[in-house]
Structure 1
Amino acid sequence: MAGYKTLAALIGSTSFIAAGAAVAQDLPAFDLGTLVLYGDRATQDASQTNASVAVVGEEVLSMPEVSSYRDSFRRIANVNTGDFTESGFVIRGVNSEGLTPGGIGAPLASFYIDGVQQTVEGTRRGLRGTFDVEQIEVYRGPQSTLTGRNALAGAIYLRTKDPEFEPSARAQMTYGEDNHRQIALAYGNALGDKLAFRFSGEWSQKDTDLNYPSYERFQRYGDFKTDDYHNLRAKLLWLPTGSDETKVLLSYSHSFDGPTSNDIAGPNWSSNAPLYGARRGDIWGTILPDDPYRLLGLTEIPAFQDVRETTVKNFGIEVSHEFSNALKLTSMTGWTNSVTDRHSINHGTPGEFLTVDGEFDQEILSQELRLNYDDGPLRWVAGLYFSEENQSSFRTQQLLTLDESRNSAKITNLAAFGEISYEFVPGWRAIAGARVDHIDQKQTAFFSQNGVMTSNTTASFEDTVVLPKFGLEHSFAGNQRVSLTYQEGYRPGGSGVQASTGMLFEYEPESARNYELAWRGRFMEDRLGVAVNLFYQDWDKQQVEVWADPLNPASSYITNAGKSESYGGEIELTYAATERLDLYGSIGLLETEFKDFSAGGINYSGLSFPGAPETNISLGFQWGGETGWFANGSATYTGSSMSRIEQGLARPLTLDDYTTVDVSFGYGWNNGARMTVYATNLLDEKYFKYEYGPGAMATLGDRREVGVRLDYTF
């Protein structure tokens, strides 16, 4: 039953969120079984992990309120979505891309799909649907000892359903507001006693609810106003010996993702701009009265309005072999490629000559080998890692001048890592680990204006770092565990070219030291699980992107903040109230501050990190079972946060707090059919994820959607 997994995870991990039947109050304590973790290199058993990990299970991921993996963040403390489409996810107030969105270089947190690390663009726009997804694991705080250079802020692991040696199939259809249509199919079966396969596919489309009257004449208008997504996936499981001792799992997926923009113009954007309530998304249909482009007689500049679509291909080979009950070898080979087309909305329209054309092409090839040993008192993991990442991009912009830029990077990462955990006296366990990481990064940047080259540079960065981890863990009373850990994280430096000027800029590496105190407890005959984490993170030379011109993203460059810090905590609870009712709740508290940071003549010291809400609170319930009536509901409060740091704004705007409510109810039949009526953001709360101005432009949060879904499992 799902309630078993709910509480099993709370033995060792921060939380597990699942729907379904719970354990009756009059039953004695029961065998919790084992919750498998896919992202923790040290162990697959949630009862043994010392990571701060939140796990969202298949039951929740099958709900229509969670149509994207990012929707599950509403149930997790101190985890949020980014502030707009061109952004990553946020863990403990730190964006997965850091404070340097996109660009050339390394992110601060990584996203893995079936063990394959995704590129920056593949994380923004790639696999986002949750159909046929088994589990999502969110690791908060540095994971650099085991996970690598791109885990200073954390990591997310998404695992899709593996093949099984019996037939299984599933179909799903959804229809919601704004002509939201979704169809998905999955089927798996055995091919003899050693081979099994699973295929799945999902297609989704939705119209925007924003208004773009001045963009309707452009050729790319249809792509711009329609949210398009589809994904195809195939997995093959091979058991060479006919048993689970040796497994070979091959996976391949192909995704297309073209989300819509949620940016709207406000009354202070231009002299004739409407109020925010008009939901006018054609921001560049009018330009400011003092804009230099008005000297050319222009009243609009649609070349600044991007249309971006991404295609992602993933391929993985996961091989595992158990030498004994204690010793296991794992090999993970991954390859991913993402290609993002970026065009201005008027590009390709006859008669339009002020346009922008461009592309991002990113590829990662990785190989990891590791040995895991566990005989009870002694556990250890040792491994080797290699990755090569190739990035290239170009941008051709015809405005006042013809600007052409090209950037490329090759990033090679070699590492040896290990971690050991030893129970030196009953109930007390010491933990030590380290990762020796070598980074070799080469970058090129070209910029020309009206055919005249102004910059053609090559830069390199090479470094070897040792990232340690130490911890102490105490288990007591049979169902209580307290741990204290120290871990370091690292992000390499680099260089780039400011596209608006062609000027070269350089930035230094950033690092962080994280101190974490955690407590896990189970009560009431294992029906109540409690998880608490307190952390303090000390940052050095945090990399931050700023714009020299607040209205021109091409003027961006990266600099370093001297010192900054973040601290806070998470409290997460799961309670199996009755056989048919599960309750859950979470509280995330966060404080962030730049202690020493100046750029462009402005002192930002004392400011909090942008997009880092001080409070997250989530409460919810899941009632019912596989058949009969069922209902789910949740309310999520997100506290106020600072908007983005932008040149010329000594004190950026503060975004208001907001609360969203999601509900669903339905009926399940004995034949495997299930009908659900759902509403996301039921109260249609109006909130901003970003604002510039004040009152100039903003990024809207998700609006209300009411719809119906039909699932059929057979």
Structure 2
Amino acid sequence: MAQQAAPIELDPVVLYGDRTTTDIDEATASIGIVNERQLAQPIVQDYTDSFRYMANVSTGDWTESGFVVRGINSEGLTPGGLGAPLASFYIDGVQQTVEGTRRGLRGVFDTEQVEVYRGPQSTLTGRAALAGAIYLRTKDPEFARSGAAQLTYGSDNHKQAGLAFGDAINDRIAYRVSGEWSEKDSDLNYPSYARYDRYDDYVTDDYWVARGKVLWLPTENDDTRVILSYARSFDGPTQNDIVGPLWSTGSPGYDARRGDGWGSLLPDYYRSLGLTALPVYQDVRETYVNNLGIEVTHDFNANLRLTAMTGWTKSLTERHSINEGTPGEFMTVDGAFRQELLSQEIRLNYDSGALRWVAGAYAAREKQSSFRNQQLLSYDESRNAATIRNYALFGEASYEFAPNWRVIGGARLDYIQQDQSAWVRSDGVVGSDTDTDFSDRVFIPKLGVEYSFGANQSVALIYQEGYRPGGSAIYVADGSQYEYDPEKTRNLELAWRGRFMQDRLRLGANVFYQEWTDQQVELRRDPLDWQSSYIANAGKSKSYGAEFELAYAATDMLDLTASVGLLHTKFTDFRAGPDDFTGLPFPSAPKSNISLGFAWGDVTGPFVNGHISAQSSTISRLESYVPDPVTLGGHGLVDLAAGYAWEEAKLTAYATNLFDKEYFTYDYGPGVMATLGDRREVGIRLDYQF
């Protein structure tokens, strides 16, 4: 009798970020996932590249911003603002600071999975996440010797190397260590900056990370599991800002890709004051991040599990004007941002089939401080510090009250306290020295119903609320205090999950409608003065849309993926001082985006991987005295990789942005200044497993 061929099935997907389940088919949240096979391809070089596979997820419009989920930046519309961001970033369970999210761990070598949770996550996660959360999981230790090495060379002298090794110390303890380093030259032009000592740092995009993880099974029956992780990283990304034809009389336009706008291309206004260059306005920023995590799980029995996650992270971002430290330069800036976050989450999970619940407690303390010393027409000094304490009880339960029907209920009780101080001195005269504090308590509910039908399908309708605390802030220009209100949302979401064709096809869809009250937006009373920044509340706004995602094992050698995101956003009532943004969509919120990907090949032999992503137009940032923000055109990108795999090695040639599509992620103008999206890169990579 002929042997029957093994059935073609999708690889199983295990969730790390969902607090109620590890099975993607049981999750009701809208989740975008990029797995280990996709992350291993050179067309995904850092975790933000994985967003191109997902619906309604994208990178921020600038280096100094977070990621975007459903048209909302993870920092909200208050870049780097005090307090809780709208979406959180977790690395191996460790919650990251704002600066650590912007410039921390970047590469995905030795990474197992990236998960993006879209929409409010407040009843299921440590920090209340109004917009969503990202969970990045690196490879855990195993009780077997294994290792990996990786070398990459590409356009603009891009060099990357990675090395990982793991083994068992004994039958109770295993470890894994890994490291990655990358360096790449900017392809923009900065001829008038070349004479400054920090020029090489400014035009070199580089990062590195060193990480160690230990797995300990302290009991003979393996019902307790402890993972200790530590990582230190450095990230010094380049800026992709270029000046346009209206920047100054001497500007040659965007095609010249000139980034030295504060050098020889100084705007005419400053030249009229007798100045020839103002490199004081051109920052070089580099960030160091330390992450320490202790994850303990204990199974009391088959139904009840205890999880305790302790996280500590500390980020230091150094900022210097490009000319700081160069002999003879006196108009300079130096400064730093320090952020330290200690968090503790404890939760219980219970699952008896009919009844599933999770209950948890969360506590965190974050310390932020910064300083800035600027020598221009005057010598200005500023010091800012803040301490944020957050305590919460959260939980969610799901109960099968009738065959195939489940009711879902959840809640969060949250308390936050902020203490802030600001000090400003100009030419030795103290302009402001102010302390302020703010505290708030809030109850956040969630309610839903789920119905399972057929063999592998379910549909759920969920209502949940989102919350971001308000605060008391200091207007740096004159030291005055002001308060801004909490940001709140009400979200109604319909989720559907299905498996078909003997588990070869997995489909998921989420449709949502979200109303916003008092959305927090940072504006400037004087567009040219950072000290005039303040936070305003947009009275009313709304967003609605959908995500559709597909994974299909077409043959034993061909896997297909696809996603479609639809989005509509609008400020329905937003007036602040002289600005009226009513009727505008949210910035960086495309109405549609689409992704198509394929992976062809066997474990050994030739292989080809490709990916196409496209998004529609968006508007640029909301800025004071700019009632009609610039519209950024839509764009499409093609990535392609092909190579040959042996049992232990793999050689890959790749191209990202294959057709070198030029697109902007930000435009202040039009025709004045823009941030250029990633350009084409062509290269080769060698992977070796041992």
What TM-score results when the alignment is normalised by the length of structure 1? 0.94
Which residue of 496, 506, 509 corresponds with 1:519?
Answer: 496
2:264 is equivalent to residue 290 of structure 1 = no
Q: Is the 8 A contact 1:149 1:491 kept in 2?
A: no
Task: For residues 431-475 of structure 1, give each alpha carbon's deviation from its aligned partner in whole angstroms, at most 9, with x where no partner exists.
Answer: 001010111111111112221111111111111111111110000
SS where residue 39 of structure 1 aligns? coil
Distance in 2 (CA, whole Å) between partners of 1:510 and 1:231 is: 35
Q: 1:127 and 1:567, CA in 2 relative to 1: closer, same or farther beyond 3 A?
A: same
SS in 2 for 1:467: strand
Question: Could you say what secondary structure the match of 1:290 adopts?
Answer: helix
Structure 2 counterparts to residues 11-410 of structure 1, below 5 A = 35-285=13-263, 286-291=265-270, 294-295=272-273, 297-410=274-387
User: Contact 2:25–2:498 (CA<8 Å) still a contact in 1?
Assistant: no
Q: Secondary structure at the match of 1:506?
A: strand
Tell me the CA shift for residue 253 of structure 1.
0.1
The answer to whether structure 1 residue 575 and structure 2 residue 539 are counterparts is no
Write the distance in 2 (CA, Å) between the matches of 1:674 and 1:412. 48
Distance apart, 1:526 and its partner CA: 2.2
Q: Hey, what's the Cα distance between the residues in 2 that align with 1:398 and 1:27?
A: 71
Q: Spell out, residue by residue over 1:510-550, the C-alpha distance to the aligned partner (whole angstroms, 9 max, x if none).
A: 11111100111122222222211100111110000112233
Deviation at 1:499, TM superposition (A): 4.1
**AA in 2 matched with 1:194:** R
Distance 1:569 1:318 in 2: 34
Q: SS at 1:100's partner residue?
A: coil
Task: Give the C-alpha shift of residue 33 in structure 1.
Answer: 8.0
Q: Encode CA deviations 1:160-179: one digit per residue, 9 max, x unaligned.
A: 00000000000000000000
Change (3 A) 1:126 1:29: closer
- Greater mean alpha carbon deviation, residues 453-462 or residues 231-240: 453-462
Q: Which amino acid aligns with 1:468?
A: P
Q: Residue 37 of structure 2 aligns to which amino acid in structure 1? A: E
Mean alpha-carbon deviation: is it higher for 98-107 or for 343-352? 98-107
Question: What root-mean-square deviation, in Å, do the aligned CA atoms of Structure 1 and Structure 2 show?
Answer: 1.6
Q: Give the conservation status (yes or no) of the 8 Å contact 2:8–2:556.
A: no
1:706 alignment partner AA: V
Q: How much does 1:554 deviate?
A: 4.0
1:626-670 deviation line (CA, Å, top 9, x unaligned): 210000011100110010111111111000000000000000012
Contact 1:264–1:700, Cα closer than 8 Å, also in 2: yes
After TM superposition, give the deviation of residue 556 of structure 1 in Å.
Answer: 2.2
- Spell out structure 1 runs of 4+ moving beyond 6 A: none
SS in 1 for 2:514: strand
Please state how far the C-alpha of 1:707 moved relative to its aligned partner.
0.1
Deviation at residue 45 of structure 1 after TM alignment: 2.4
User: For residues 64-103 of structure 1, what are the alpha-carbon distances to aligned partners after superposition, in whole Å with 9 as ceiling and x for unaligned?
Assistant: 0101000000000000000010010000000000000013
Counterpart in the other structure of 1:692: 668
1:453 pairs with 2:430: yes
Partner of 1:677: 653
2:436–2:481 contact (8 Å) kept in structure 1: no
Identical aligned pairs, as a percentage? 63
For structure 2, which runs of at least 5 residues remain unmatched after alignment?
none
* 2:422–2:476 contact (8 Å) kept in structure 1: no
Deviations 1:236-274 (A, max 9, x none): 000011443110110000000000000001110011111
CA distance in 2, matches of 1:279, 1:150: 41
Q: Is the 8 A contact 1:170 1:712 kept in 2?
A: yes
* CA distance in structure 2 between the partners assigned to 1:446 and 1:574 by the alignment: 54
- Structure 2 equivalent of residue 9 of structure 1: none
C-alpha deviation, 1:409, in angstroms: 0.8
User: Is the 1:252–1:316 Cα contact (8 Å) retained in structure 2?
Assistant: yes
Is 1:703 the counterpart of 2:679? The answer is yes
Question: Given the superposition, is the C-alpha separation of residues 430 and 308 from structure 1 closer, same or farther in structure 2, using an over 3 Å criterion?
Answer: same
State whether residues 624 and 631 of structure 1, in contact with CA within 8 Å, keep that contact through their aligned partners in structure 2: yes
State the AA in 2 paired with 1:534.
Answer: V
Q: In structure 2, what is the equivalent of residue 426 of structure 1?
A: 403
Distance (whole Å) between structure 1 residues aligned to residue 175 and residue 511 of structure 2: 43
* Aligned equivalent of 1:562: 539
Measured in 2, the distance between the counterparts of 1:683 and 1:252 equals: 40
Distance 1:538 1:139 in 2: 19
2: CA distance, partners of 1:665 / 1:28:
26
- Report which stretch shifted further, 365-374 or 489-498: 489-498
User: Aligned equivalents of 1:690 and 1:541: distance in 2?
Assistant: 25
Cα deviation per residue 1:356-385 (whole Å; 9 max; x = unaligned)? 111000000011111110010100111111
Report the counterpart of residue 639 of structure 2 in structure 1. 662
From 381, 399, 415, give the equivalent of 2:392. Answer: 415
Q: Distance in 1 between matches of 2:128 and 2:187?
A: 36
Quick check: 52-61 or 127-136, which moved more?
52-61
The question of whether the paired residues in 2 share the 8 Å contact of 1:445 and 1:496 is answered with no
Q: Mean Cα displacement is larger for which, 486-495 or 537-546?
A: 486-495
Matched residue, 2:688: 712
What is the TM-score normalised by the length of structure 2? 0.97
Q: 1:40 to 1:110 in 2, by over 3 A?
A: same
Secondary structure of 1:123's aligned partner = helix
1:53 Cα offset (Å): 1.1
TM-aligned CA deviation for residue 26 of structure 1? 7.9
Find the residue that maps to 1:47 and give its secondary structure: helix
Give the counterpart letter for 1:45 in structure 2.
Answer: D
2:650 corresponds to which letter in structure 1?
Answer: R
Question: What's the offset of the Cα at 1:50?
Answer: 1.6
3-state SS of 1:146 partner: coil
> CA deviation digits over 1:103-151, x for unaligned, max 9?
3222110000000000000000000100000111100000011214441
Distance in 2 (CA, whole Å) between partners of 1:455 and 1:514 is: 41
State how far apart, in whole Å, the 1-side matches of 2:511 and 2:202 are: 43
- Report deviation, 1:404: 1.2
Deviation at 1:317, TM superposition (A): 0.5
* 1:62 Cα offset (Å): 0.7
CA contact (8 A) 1:492 1:510 kept: yes
2:514 counterpart of 1:537:
yes
Picking from 441, 458, 461, the partner of 1:484 is: 461
SS of 1:129's equivalent in the other structure is: coil
Question: Do 2:432 and 2:479's aligned partners in 1 also have CA atoms closer than 8 Å?
Answer: yes
Deviations 1:313-353 (A, max 9, x none): 00010011101000011110000000000111011111111
Amino acid aligned to 1:685: K
Q: SS state of the match for residue 70, structure 1?
A: helix
Equivalent position of 2:592 in the other structure: 615
Asked if the contact 2:29/2:495 (under 8 Å) is kept, the reply is no
Alignment of 1:497-516 (within 5 A): 497-500=474-477, 502-516=479-493
